Structure 1
């Protein structure tokens, strides 16, 4: 008699403590009474270079102490036959960008059979790389990029990445159905967003807790935030964020950064949002979006793009005055 094959997916769930079922992270069918309305400010500008982040949506509220960020496969993901992710440097001039030299290296901070955290230092970057990263008793600094990887279907999947020098994050779900890979697209910032040549969050330090799969961010302007992976599957990744205090000087507590030249060459082309006790969603092209008060906002694409075709849409919501648990309670 043949033995029953091992369900690797169940082993990963047990080992990681991450919920991999839709019911674990499905959004509430109606607006919760304690959802806060925040101000969305659009500072986007037209741009010809497809590799420059010209989309900037800032989130502002002195009351917010928690929110949820989701990266969700685009609506057309099931129709992709051949993916596109190669950069397009047409109309780009990066010759004036600042460059800080460094010695290239790679380091694994922590690993288990199911998850691992890896840091990279590039030969150069546009900002100095002096943010310390702590995992347990180990403290390292000098990294431009830190990746969180997950073993899924016997393959390594990069699910989350952040850039310590400027505070940028990117997230993506597990590959859809039988796809072997999907692209990153829009980035987001967590913490007091300020402009130093471009929008950044100045980090004092980052601590990763392997037990909770969470990152604690200390900011140079004061205060902390905690970003935790609440769940992940082949549809979306859900990140719960909590803040220790209001942002100084009424700075944005988060920002979405992306690129748009045309609808067919974009990582984000449309915005949809809903207001407190609103009767429905409102929609706008991202460049023409005038900003709005919102309890939830979606930024993404309905039309397939020649740039990062499989990159996820982004959803920001569940803005609360107090931190929420993974179940939303």
Structure 2
């Protein structure tokens, strides 16, 4: 066992021990703040929700099938630029750094495949070292993780090392060959460089059981462990080492909302620990809330990314 593999095993063990230490504690509430701005462009991440609280050391992030998943007949994935104008801001205004394209299988197992992709251009110059099953590489813009289902591999999550974004989704629901991504999220020390980012110094991935260690440029790390992946949900448990300071968000949801029928997120459902029934509001009506469990989702089918999952953040834990 190499030094890198031993270190990864120790970090995963630290996360597991911390989980055991706080698992019996009651979930705590965090501050969820809506920074969304209006847009008519379905390809613009205009939705931003921050999650903040001091001392958070563990929480769960889930991708859940939308309530209407069984009624989908037309599963729309195609981009929609009909209401877009990127002049002076947004994706078209981003810097473009050039790279030599690559597509490399970093791990191939019976049920899991991990692929690294370097794009011809990207908006940030960072080349983040990545270690997968003890093998080192660098410079990937996407780390794709596939899970085998019904005889073929389906992408279930992707991590962007150069800016820290995650996207996850459940395995396809019965009757669908695949499902779309929708919202993305960030975990760690979030900075603003024209858009929110997390600067990652290095990444260590253990394929089976799946765990991902993010070592941050500013210090500290996050350990993500796969709790569940099936046709109803994909669930990751995050352990922050050290816990959140409370001076900045420890997590952020990024998404798109034009109208209820054209959105990756159109409503927010949450519990605050005092009302077991929970509450729900349309996304534009939400400002700041305190939640032990918050779900960003849709009840009305969207004409864009129709099968994209709802995103839920829950089980926030502190070291008491």
* TM-score normalised by L of structure 1: 0.86
Aligned match of 2:93? 96
For residue 40 of structure 1, the aligned residue among 22, 32, 35 is 32
- Separation of aligned partners in 2, 1:279 and 1:121: 46
- Separation of aligned partners in 2, 1:156 and 1:185: 20
- Separation of aligned partners in 2, 1:74 and 1:130: 35
For residue 240 of structure 1, the aligned residue among 237, 241, 255 is 237
Helix, strand or coil at the partner of 1:287: helix
Aligned pair count reads: 292
1:262-284, Cα deviation, whole Å (9 max, x unpaired): 11111001001111222431222
Which stretch shifts more, 92-101 or 255-264?
92-101
- In structure 1, runs of 5+ residues without a counterpart are 1-31, 324-329
Helix, strand or coil at the partner of 2:213: strand
CA shift for structure 1 position 248: 5.2
- Separation of aligned partners in 1, 2:35 and 2:92: 24
Aligned match of 2:220? 223
1:8-32, Cα deviation, whole Å (9 max, x unpaired): xxxxxxxxxxxxxxxxxxxxxxxx8
CA shift for structure 1 position 322: 4.6
Helix, strand or coil at the partner of 1:184: coil
1:227-306 matches, within 5 Å, as 227-247=224-244, 250-306=247-303
1:170-215, Cα deviation, whole Å (9 max, x unpaired): 1111111121111010001111122111011111111001233000
Aligned match of 1:65? 57
- Separation of aligned partners in 1, 2:44 and 2:280: 24
CA shift for structure 1 position 137: 3.0
> What is the root-mean-square deviation in Å for CA atoms of aligned residues?
1.5
* Contact residue 56 and residue 244 of structure 2 kept, 8 A: no
- Separation of aligned partners in 2, 1:134 and 1:251: 28
Aligned match of 2:44? 52
Helix, strand or coil at the partner of 1:51: coil
CA shift for structure 1 position 33: 5.7
Helix, strand or coil at the partner of 2:113: strand
Q: Does residue 1:181 correspond to 2:178, yes or no?
A: yes
- Separation of aligned partners in 2, 1:146 and 1:211: 16
* Contact residue 66 and residue 322 of structure 1 kept, 8 A: no
Aligned match of 1:158? 155
Structure 1 residues 249 and 224, CA gap change in structure 2 (3 angstroms): same
Structure 1 residues 68 and 153, CA gap change in structure 2 (3 angstroms): same
CA shift for structure 1 position 256: 0.6
Helix, strand or coil at the partner of 1:95: helix
Q: Does residue 1:118 correspond to 2:115, yes or no?
A: yes
* TM-score normalised by L of structure 2: 0.88
* Contact residue 55 and residue 244 of structure 2 kept, 8 A: no
Helix, strand or coil at the partner of 1:78: helix
